Structure 1
């Protein structure tokens, strides 16, 4: 279990620093083109490991796997959820800072236990209080009294939280039936495919000069954030429950703020810092065990 938790913590370091690379790439490349390259590079980075495991494993079929769920279908579903979340996040970074994006993205940590109700996970009192505290933090962090509730980039990042929440919960289901490395490689392939198909739809262009200008962000996000980070997430979630996994992954927001300050010179106003503090309190407190206030009962089979 310690090894699995370390996998998750290591993923947060790679993801937190990836916000900086993603923010830098917005100056030279469109969101969908960037994600297509980074996730296909991530798939290539994981592929040798997947092939090695394939040779070492006699059978990776889970006996209780649903008949309708195949590995390609699982990867396609995971890839679409990852595509939606990463695309919205990359689009949002055109309009906001890496540090703020990291904190707002971390709201999925609070959302996981709330959406988990639909999967028959218990709702606790601290889930509610933590969510309200974190939302107050978002208001302080992202609202600037200009008449709009949230600035454009902050709002787009906030919408992406829905898909990061689903990503955590869907992984928790699929990793029971398939190898985590297979799922990682497969979701990267499909996410990259969906991204490249979106390039002409979004009116983006992909040129060699743009790729060269974005080479460092692409390599970092492709190999370390995508290839290593998401694989560590899937491997770590094999034995760590979703709520605890989301707590460990919440450290991503701290690393994103530190990386934004260290590499981009990003700073925050006192109001924004107070928002970050409240978000941190809300996100961490939501993971504290407390009284169960609601559980969606499973239907009994006839």
Structure 2
């Protein structure tokens, strides 16, 4: 249990970083469009990690091979797919619905883990996933829901994020964490810039007055260092010590942290329904963490008490 505590707490910190930077990114993309922003963000993160690699981990450069390159590109493709599909989906749907549908990756991960990795989720994890999904609905959607083309795009975004978790778990134990993280981050950066070239006014990235705006500069520094370089390094390093289903449940806390950050930093109002949603997600995550032996012991204890009574 203690061996899992550090990796899973580290992954929870990643969810906190992503959730707490949501408001910062929202402010920045009003000046720099999403794909352009992410292109710069991931490029800077890649430079940070590559600089660390060259200065302090030169021996790991000898571990670079075609297998590592292929694995990093695959991880980067799914990660980019999640960001791109979510961005384009938001053109046609609301952020609340997009938040819920993206969160459905918590349901898709156990399914893909079983189909691709042949990992059967434990009963308490399945129940935790169901409870967390209900919580996501309460937190992000409330009592209104309908389906449009944006929702479909965001659903494919959820599939991409789910598969990113699956393949991170598959490849992270095979190759150098740092090299794998650098490869996937640069892959995302290249694909984001390519997407921006076709769909956005990417030239603004060369406008000094835009890049040096406080909102943009601050967001790029915080997200490239903490929400990208450090966060994806932590995910790649520690995901190998737990199951993809647990990772998905931990990452389901991201919208909870985003809601709490919005409440504290931007005075956004949290409804009673949203608060219930937060509690459901937290409850689902805690339930999935309960040892199976403890649940079995409690069930046996109840059975013994009933037997004595009869």
Under a length normalisation based on structure 2, what TM-score does the superposition of the two structures give? 0.76
Cα distance, 1:154 vs. partner?
7.4
Structure of larger gyration radius: 2
Cα gap change, 1:141/1:247 in structure 2, threshold over 3 Å: closer, same or farther? closer
What's 1:296 paired with?
A: none
Deviations 1:99-153 (A, max 9, x none): x87776554344322221112111443444444434433443444656x426988
Question: Residue 173 of structure 1 corresponds to which residue in structure 2?
Answer: 170
CA distance in 2: counterparts of 1:159 and 1:12, whole angstroms = 21
Match of 2:79 in 1: 82
Separation (CA, whole Å) in 2 of partners of 1:274 and 1:85: 27
Partner of 1:210: 210
Q: In structure 1, how many angstroms separate the alpha carbons of the residues matched to 2:265 and 2:182?
A: 30
The aligned runs of 1:1-302 (5 Å cut-off) are 1=3, 3-52=6-55, 54-57=57-60, 60=63, 70-90=67-87, 95-96=94-95, 105-118=102-115, 119-143=117-141, 148-149=145-146, 159-207=156-204, 208=207, 209-213=209-213, 214-286=216-288, 288=290
CA contact (8 A) 2:61 2:179 kept: no
Offset at 1:261?
1.4
Distance 1:140 1:102, change over 3 A: closer
Q: What displacement does 1:211 show?
A: 2.4
> What TM-score results when the alignment is normalised by the length of structure 1?
0.78
Is the alpha carbon distance of 1:14 and 1:91 closer, same or farther for their aligned partners in structure 2, counting shifts above 3 Å? Answer: farther
User: How far apart, in 2, do the equivalents of 1:152 and 1:142 lie?
Assistant: 18
Superimposed CA distance per residue, residues 181-230 of structure 1 (whole angstroms, 9 cap, x where no aligned partner): 11111111110100000113213333123323311112211111001111
172-181 or 211-220, larger mean C-alpha shift: 211-220
1:234-279, Cα deviation, whole Å (9 max, x unpaired): 1112333333444444443332222121222222322333333334
- 8 Å CA contact 1:7–1:235 kept in 2: the answer is no
Q: What is the count of residue pairs matched by the alignment?
A: 282
Question: Of the two structures, which has the highest relative contact order with CA contacts closer than 8 Å and spacing of 6 or more?
Answer: 1
Query: 2: distance between equivalents of 1:196 and 1:42?
Result: 14
* Residue equivalent to 1:300: none
Q: Report the structure, 1 or 2, having the larger helix content.
A: 2
8 Å contact from structure 2 (residues 107, 130) kept in 1: no
- TM-fit CA distance, 1:231: 0.7
Give SS of 1:266's match: coil
Mark the runs of 5 or more structure 2 residues left unpaired by the alignment. Answer: 294-310
CA contact (8 A) 1:107 1:134 kept: no
